[in-house]
Structure 1
Amino acid sequence: MLLIPARWAGFRQPRCGWGTGGLPGITKETGEKGLRKVRRLPFIIYTWLVIVLGIWLLYYTFPQLNLDLGRELLIMVGFGVLAEWLAVSFPQGQLTGGFAVILSTYLIYGPVPAAWVNALATVLGQGVANRGNPLRTTLFNAAQYVPVVLGANFVYVLAGGEVARGLHWANGWPLTLFILAYYLFNQLFVYIYTLPVRGGYPLLQWPDALRWDGITYLLAVPVGLLMVLLYNHIGIYGTLLLFIPMLAVQFVLRFYVHLVLANRELRVLYEVAGKLGGNLNLKEIFDLLLRESRRVTGFHNGIIYLWSEEKQCYVVEAATGTHAGLFRGSVVQRGEGFLGRAALSGECHLVDDAREDERTLGDIGFTQLHRSLVVVPLVAETGVLGLLVLGDKRAGFFDDKHVQILTILGGQAAVAIANVHLKSLLDRAAITDGLTGLYNYRYFYHRCLGELERARRYDENVALVMVDINNFKQVNDHYGHSAGDAVLAAVAGVIRDQLRDGDLAARFGGDEFAVLLPRTGPAEAKHVADRLRLAVREYVFEAGERRILVYVTTATATFPGDAAGLDELFKVALKGLEQQ
Structure 2
Amino acid sequence: MGKYREYLFNTALIATGGLVFAFALYHYGLGIDFRLFLILLLFAIILDNLGIMYTDIKLSLSPSVGIAAFLIFGTVGAATLMVTSVMFDTIVMRRKIKNGFLNGAMFALSYLPAGWLYEFMGGKIGEISIAQVKYILVYVIVSFLINNFILYYALKVQGKILFKEYWNESVLLELGTYVLMVPAAMLLAYVYFKHSLMFFVLSLTPLVFIAYVFRMVRDLVKANKRLNAIYEMVKMINSKLELDQILDTIVEVISQVVAVSAAAIYLTDSNGIATLVKAVGGKGKEGFRESYFKGEGLIGKVISSNKIVAIKNLKEDRSLDREKIFANYGSLIAAPLRSSGVPIGCLLILHVETNAFDDDSVRIIEIIVDQASVAITNAKKYYEVTRKSITDPLTKTYNRRYFNDALMENIMRADENNEPVSLIMFDLDNFKQINDTYGHLIGDEVLKEVARRIKNNVRSNDIVARFGGEEFAVILPKLTAEQAYMIAERIRTEVSSKPIKTEKGDIYVTITGGVADYPSKADSAEKLVSHADRALYAGGKSKGRNKIAIYEV
Give the match for residue 40 of structure 1: 6
In the alignment, the residues of structure 1 paired with residue 118 and residue 174 of structure 2 have an alpha-carbon distance, to the nearest angstrom, of: 21
Give per-residue Cα distances to partners, 1:305-345, cap 9 Å, x unaligned. 32222x343344456774736978x5433223332211112
After TM superposition, the structure 1 = structure 2 runs for residues 349-364 of structure 1, keeping only pairs within 5 Å, are 349-350=309-310, 357-362=317-322
Q: Are the equivalent residues in 1 in contact too, given 2:40–2:69 (CA < 8 A)?
A: yes
Mapped contact 2:14–2:101 kept (Cα < 8 A): no
Native 8 Å contact 1:200 1:397 kept in 2: no
* 1:37 Cα deviation after fit: 2.4
Query: What is the identity, as a one-letter code, of the residue corresponding to 1:182?
Result: S
Counterpart position of 2:293: 333
Q: Which letter maps to 2:373?
A: A
Deviation for aligned residue 1:61: 4.7
**2:132 alignment partner in structure 1:** 171
**In 1, distance between residues paired with 2:389 and 2:131?**
87
CA distance in 1, matches of 2:303, 2:27: 59
Q: Aligned in 2, Cα 1:352/1:245: closer, same or farther, shift over 3 Å? A: closer
Residue 448 (structure 2) aligned to one of 501, 510, 516: 501
Deviation at 1:41, TM superposition (A): 2.8
1:376 aligns with 2:345: no
Q: Secondary structure at the match of 1:279?
A: coil
Indicate the RMSD between aligned Cα atoms, in angstroms: 5.0
Partner of 1:108: 72
Residues 354 and 78 of structure 1, relative CA distance in 2, 3 Å threshold: closer
> Which residues of 2 match residues 357-436 of structure 1 at below 5 A?
357-362=317-322, 374-389=333-348, 396=354, 399-400=357-358, 407=366, 409-423=368-382
CA distances 1:534-570 after superposition (whole Å, capped 9, x unpaired): xxxxxxxxxxxxxxxxxxxxxxxxxxxxxxxxxxxxx
- Cα deviation for residue 202 of structure 1 reads 6.5
Aligned with residue 189 of structure 1, among 150, 153, 157 = 150
The 1:420–1:57 alpha-carbon spacing in structure 2 relative to 1, beyond 3 Å, is same
1:200 and 1:297 in contact (8 A); partners too: no
Are residues 496 and 64 of structure 1, via their aligned partners in 2, closer, same or farther at CA, if it must alter by over 3 Å? Answer: same
Map of 1:543 onto structure 2: none
Per the TM alignment, residue 531 of structure 1 is displaced from its structure 2 partner at its CA by: 6.1
Please, which of 50, 56, 60 is the counterpart of residue 26 of structure 2?
60
Mapped contact 2:55–2:166 kept (Cα < 8 A): no
Structure 1 pair 500–99 and aligned structure 2 pair: CA distance change class (3 A): same
Shift in alpha-carbon separation, 1:270–1:460, aligned structure 2, 3 A: farther
Letter in 2 for 1:100: S
Paired residue type of 1:334: K
- The 8 Å contact of residues 115 and 145 in structure 1, kept in 2 or not, is answered as yes
Distance 1:219 1:252 in 2: 14
* 2:180 alignment partner in structure 1: 219
Instruction: Indicate which of 233, 236, 239 corresponds to 2:200.
Output: 239
Q: How much does 1:215 deviate?
A: 3.1
Alpha carbons 1:461, 1:519 under 8 Å: kept: yes
SS in 2 for 1:359: helix
1:135 to 92, 97, 109: 97
Q: Which structure exhibits the higher relative contact order, with contacts defined as CA atoms closer than 8 Å and separated by 6 or more residues? A: 1
Whole-Å separation in 2 of the counterparts to 1:351 and 1:156: 47
1:88 aligns with 2:52: yes
**1:416 deviation in Å?**
1.6
Work out the CA distance in 2 between the residues paired with 1:391 and 1:357.
14
CA contact (8 A) 2:68 2:188 kept: yes
Cα distance in structure 1, aligned partners of 2:503 and 2:100:
83
SS of equivalent to 2:335 = strand
| 1:114 Cα deviation after fit | 1.9
Distance 1:500 1:179 in 2: 77
- Equivalent of 1:249, from 194, 204, 210? 210
User: Higher Cα Rg: structure 1 or 2?
Assistant: 1
Shift of 1:251: 1.4
Structure 2 residue aligned with 1:21? none
In the TM superposition, 1:174-323 aligns within 5 A as 174-197=135-158, 199-201=160-162, 205-260=166-221, 274-275=235-236, 277-286=238-247, 288-289=249-250, 299=261, 303-309=264-270, 311-317=271-277, 322=283
Aligned length: 430
Distance 1:115 1:270, change over 3 A: same
> Structure 1 residues 423, 156: closer, same or farther in 2, change over 3 A?
closer
Q: Which runs of 5+ in 1 are unaligned?
A: 1-34, 432-438, 440-446, 466-493, 504-516, 521-527, 533-580
Query: SS in structure 2 opposite 1:501?
Result: helix
Amino acid in structure 2 at the alignment position of 1:122: V
**1:347 and 2:311 aligned:** no
CA deviation profile, 1:163-216 (whole Å, cap 9, x unmatched):
25x013332322232222232232223223222346454697223322332233
- Name the counterpart of 2:470: 519
Gap runs ≥5 in structure 2: 394-398, 403-424, 436-440, 451-467, 472-500, 506-553
Q: Percent identity?
A: 21
Counterpart CA distance in 2 for 1:307 and 1:214 is 47
Does the aligned pair in 1 maintain the 2:334–2:349 contact within 8 Å? Answer: yes
CA distance in 2, matches of 1:291, 1:235: 53
Q: Residue 497 and residue 362 in structure 1: after superposition, are their counterparts in 2 closer, same or farther (change >3 A)?
A: farther
What amino acid maps onto 1:150 in structure 2? L
- Please tell me whether the aligned partners of residues 85 and 126 of structure 1 are also in contact (alpha carbons under 8 angstroms): no
1:154 matched to 2:140? The reply is: no
Which range moved further: 52-61 or 180-189? 52-61
**Secondary structure of 1:52's aligned partner:** helix
Tell me if structure 2 keeps the 8 A contact 1:90–1:258. Answer: no
